Structure 1
């Protein structure tokens, strides 16, 4: 990689890595050259070190709360994110560590404690991707027949976030003093009860872990519905999103800024990180050949199962060469369904085409090309204001990540669009975010 620093005054792209241990594409793990295992911490550490070699801001872990289901597409297995990130934290030094945790099936005190602990363990590199969950099967693992409705899940999530931040702020900075001369372990006048009593939670506090090094771990939020936008605008530092065109991305960003301004006048809103799946080759033809080889092995039936889960009813009886059926009244992942529908209608997709795309990308944009072409695409989105950074989702492992780090990152550096060295110790520092002051100080 280039060693000449780019001007510090020049805006630069942020990069997250979305960890799919065996690659995002459903056929990726079956290739002879594929490596990786979803329950091998040594593999996650190997990958995280490559991500750190590429000077990424974030190592990002998704999560799901259901086991293998023959009616849906999904790779079984995967370690609990916060547990895995504890191991990754001990084996890395700079990259941010972001875990997905559902507010629908967790409690604020536990989540506040775990994320504060990870922030201390990592020296201020933790983050939380806030989700509300999308599957009734998840609810059935937690004593309910089905999910709360969409608005209720987001109302619960907003209160959850407020309580969690309050618990982090229940300690002032430096309250855990261990002052040997005075014989004072904790400055008790600098620790306070939260005494929250709300619609969904009653939490006394204080937290039993001192204030995180970052004040608050960095909050990511993934959701583009009206409720999702409001939650991100109110509480998130970074919005992880999916749009297929710059025009749609700019509309989303404007909605996010408008919502943020209603809560905090003048606020620019969260940083915006669209997810992208790059297929990189030495030439465009080489990249296109890689993608074609993956798509030739695509399991269209699995794509139909995935779409059925999103559409809210079984699509397996519909003509694969016919038009796309309308979603049912109870869709899962409203923003992703609308994204898929819009692309299908704009490009005249048959059901077969949409199933193949959905199973390959899971709704995120696919970029196929040389390192220069991929960098052109990312630069165009960045300079247009549609994105502050990108969550990179390699289609294959480890080559998909290696190709991006070894080919695309140097091209972005050559253009002065990406860092050439880490210049901050915390995730907030890497992202250019301020450290929040204690709420009660």
Structure 2
């Protein structure tokens, strides 16, 4: 590991905790997903700790679970990401603002315009998490009885990316002259009409907003299936993923970085940040006791429903104390989620009930221990090229977030594993990513002065 290599940390904040029992934990804010005052406090604490970004996932339907389980879920309501992040952009200065937007149930012009707006509102801190939408229930909210097939969703997503980034390049960085004396506001020679006509999409353009401050908002991708990995390798600059252990994380890291290189990209311009729940205690035993308490708050209804979602089929009729059936109904939901459940069931010989308890709380990667022991583990992951950092999920809020920002981060900083201060103002600068050139208006002379580009855009 190079001496200067440091972790990147983003915070997964929609929902504010992935753990089903989080809202019931003693001292937690039960309404944290839908309380602006709490969310403002959270993002300001994360910025004070120098996190790279505040990351919002999104759903386009109420989660497809039985009502008896739904009534126990804290993810039922939350703010629409763009609305919330636009508000939070005005009470923060440096932390990145990442939002999920679907390529299946939205249009490229909408997405390009919203993210360009957020990038300008935040002075260059926006990021787009490209998703194809795995929840089949979403289709019914958009006039479609059936969810688009998995392969078709990824085909559309790849073309969608090309259109959105093309729209962001509609204007040269210096297109808006705003010369009051001559009366010229826009130089029409520096405006490009996209006129895209492809297999999936037809968009004329140009975008009716100036080029984003970052050139393009940072591109995030979360797919882990083979099509998802390929899409990430070709398009993503930050990959949010779920890794069960270091071996699977290293395999995924090498695979996506290798695909990126094969696609002609610099692998260092793609950061891979596995999701990790962090529980900090005064001792290992104290941290484990917190997790046991948290898991005990997961109701059985939620446990069964969560397993059903991950498998893409209703498991309530299965024998709870027997093994998972070997033959499951076909599903059009996430293939990656189902494969993960099947692998866990086989490797650990778990009953359906045990699987439900695992997936009903939080079944992903977790670091549970003292600030020192967690820092030790994170350093190993970084040095072993299993990650470039982590997407941090919190066990409960506010205390779980405070434990990370006030106890773990100072330990990482003490070891030189994490920044003590921001060195730039844009999310691209935090992540060490170059500003994309405009494909339609290349600069007359090449420049590597990122700060000069950024300042030039801010004055437009």
1:336 and 1:310 map into 2 onto residues whose CA distance is 5
How far does residue 267 in structure 1 lie from its aligned partner after superposition?
4.3
Deviations 1:174-199 (A, max 9, x none): 21221223221111110110000011
Q: TM-score, normalised by structure 1?
A: 0.94
Residues 106-185 of structure 1: matches in 2 within 5 Å?
106-185=106-185
2:191 and 2:88 map into 1 onto residues whose CA distance is 31
Q: Does residue 358 of the first structure (1) align with residue 359 of the second (2)?
A: yes
Residues 176-255 of structure 1: matches in 2 within 5 Å?
176-255=176-255
Look up the SS of the partner of 2:184 in the other structure.
Answer: coil
Aligned length in residues: 433
User: Does the C-alpha gap of structure 1 residues 21 and 50 become closer, same or farther in structure 2, counting only changes over 3 Å?
Assistant: farther
**Which sections of structure 2, spanning at least 5 residues, go unmatched?**
442-460
Look up the SS of the partner of 1:200 in the other structure.
Answer: coil
Q: Does residue 411 of the first structure (1) align with residue 411 of the second (2)?
A: yes
**Which sections of structure 1, spanning at least 5 residues, go unmatched?**
1-7
How far does residue 332 in structure 1 lie from its aligned partner after superposition?
2.0
Q: Does residue 349 of the first structure (1) align with residue 350 of the second (2)?
A: yes
1:34 and 1:402 map into 2 onto residues whose CA distance is 12
Look up the SS of the partner of 2:32 in the other structure.
Answer: coil
Residues 215-364 of structure 1: matches in 2 within 5 Å?
215-264=215-264, 267-268=267-268, 270-326=270-326, 327-330=328-331, 332-361=333-362, 363-364=363-364
1:433 and 1:47 map into 2 onto residues whose CA distance is 26
How far does residue 364 in structure 1 lie from its aligned partner after superposition?
2.4
Equivalent position of 2:44 in the other structure? 49
Look up the SS of the partner of 1:99 in the other structure.
Answer: strand
1:329 and 1:209 map into 2 onto residues whose CA distance is 44
Runs (4+) of structure 1 exceeding 6 A deviation are: none
Q: CA RMSD in A?
A: 1.7
User: Does the C-alpha gap of structure 1 residues 23 and 309 become closer, same or farther in structure 2, counting only changes over 3 Å?
Assistant: closer
Q: Does residue 27 of the first structure (1) align with residue 21 of the second (2)?
A: yes
Look up the SS of the partner of 2:172 in the other structure.
Answer: coil
Look up the SS of the partner of 1:185 in the other structure.
Answer: strand
- With 161-170 and 333-342 compared, the bigger mean Cα shift is at 333-342
How far does residue 28 in structure 1 lie from its aligned partner after superposition?
1.7
Deviations 1:56-89 (A, max 9, x none): 0010001001126552654210111011000010
Residues 356-395 of structure 1: matches in 2 within 5 Å?
356-361=357-362, 363-395=363-395
Deviations 1:327-362 (A, max 9, x none): 43215222222223323322232222221121222x
How far does residue 155 in structure 1 lie from its aligned partner after superposition?
0.4
Given that 1:20 and 1:393 are in contact with CA atoms closer than 8 Å, whether structure 2 keeps it comes out as: no
Q: TM-score, normalised by structure 2?
A: 0.90
